[in-house]
Amino acid sequence: MQNPFQNFFRHNAGFALFIAIALSVVMQASPPFATLAQAASKIAVIVNNIPITTNDISRRAAFFKLRRMKGNHRKMAREELITEALKMQEARRRRINIPQKEIDAAYLRFAKGNKIPAKVMSKILNKSGVTVRGFKQFIRANMTWQSLVAARFRSEASPQKKNPLDHLHGGKGGKTGNATEYTLQQIVFVVPKAKLKIQSQARIQEANNFRANYAGCQQAFAQAASLKNVSILKRGRIQAHEIPDRWRKEVETTKPGKTTRPLKTEKGVEMLAVCHVRQVRSKIPVNKADIFASAGGAQKNASALEKRYIAELRKRAVIKNR
């Protein structure tokens, strides 16, 4: 019998591996996973009065196993769930809540984006011990954390500092006229410089898959929540003359709510999403600059902020092992 995922395997090796392993679990109904739900659950650790159970750890450990990640899966799961609990507590403190319908929508997009019926994926997750509930918890934590980091990043940006792009909106030597203004989102499938030649093609395929299932700027963060090393940056309102030459034609031919084609850059593989388009009166400057040149620095800053943020949460946390 032909494997129903055979064509998909050719295009997405990473998730294909996930499915290949998971399918074997479903077919064989491995006893350890099959009896997981029946096992008695005990409290394994308490994080600021919030319990993490042995079943929580088992579900996350099963997820590590499906992805064939190296190391002690239960220990890794325990640490990740502790960090996850701290993130969710911080989100509640800051009143950040991702509606359940957005979690469910992200789950369905993940299945659709990987060409797997949602019911089949649910069966795979449940049989493997990950469970649909466990995977949605993982999605929720990622979406919530992205919102937290974005809010923290904005709050730490000094309002006293002049925007380095302000000079692009006017200045001496320009002329006033009509201009097309775009609200853009920058999507970066990050590839380390040392692996650009090896990984670029695979990342382009991932980007094309993301593009085919793109549900708009509002849903982009949810869509990217389950993807690895994908950064989404809000570039705000940008006029046509400000867009670098390498992107301008792509942006001008992209409809609102869609993305440009993927482009290989020094950061990996990038796309621009066009959120909104309108006509404005503007003073067009003589000088131009690459307004996306600072994206790499922003990503580094965001990464450093994430590490610092997590360290702060752990420092003031009360964690009790049972």
Q: Report the SS3 class of residue 68.
A: coil
Residue 252 sits in a domain whose CATH number is 3.10.50.40
Q: How many structural domains comprise the chain?
A: 2
Specify whether 92 is located in the same domain as 115: yes
Distances (CA, A) of 235 to 6, 121, 185, 203, 285: 38, 34, 5, 22, 19
| Residue 191 lies inside a defined structural domain of this protein | yes
Higher pLDDT, 250 or 266: 250
Specify whether 178 is located in the same domain as 246: yes
Quickly count: other Cβ atoms within 10 Å of residue 106's Cβ.
24
Specify whether 145 is located in the same domain as 18: yes
| Residue 113 to residue 38: CA distance in whole angstroms | 32
Q: Is the pLDDT of residue 103 over 80?
A: yes
Overall average pLDDT of the 68-81 stretch: 93
Specify whether 36 is located in the same domain as 104: yes
pLDDT one-digit tens code per residue, 197-247: 888 899 999 999 999 989 888 888 878 877 888 888 888 888 888 888 889
pLDDT one-digit tens code per residue, 114-133: 778 999 999 989 998 999 99
| Residue 264 lies inside a defined structural domain of this protein | yes
User: Who's near 61: CB < 8 A, 6+ residues apart?
Assistant: 73, 74, 76, 77
Q: Report the SS3 class of residue 276.
A: strand
The confidence score (pLDDT) of residue 111 equals: 84
Overall average pLDDT of the 140-165 stretch: 69
pLDDT band at 184 (very low <50, low <70, confident <90, very high): very high
What average pLDDT does the structure give for the chain? 78
| Residue 81 lies inside a defined structural domain of this protein | yes
Specify whether 28 is located in the same domain as 110: yes
Specify whether 95 is located in the same domain as 57: yes
What tokens does 111 get? 């299945």
pTM: 0.58
pLDDT one-digit tens code per residue, 7-53: 333 334 444 445 544 544 444 444 444 444 445 789 999 999 999 99
Residue 128 sits in a domain whose CATH number is 1.10.4030.10
pLDDT band at 281 (very low <50, low <70, confident <90, very high): confident
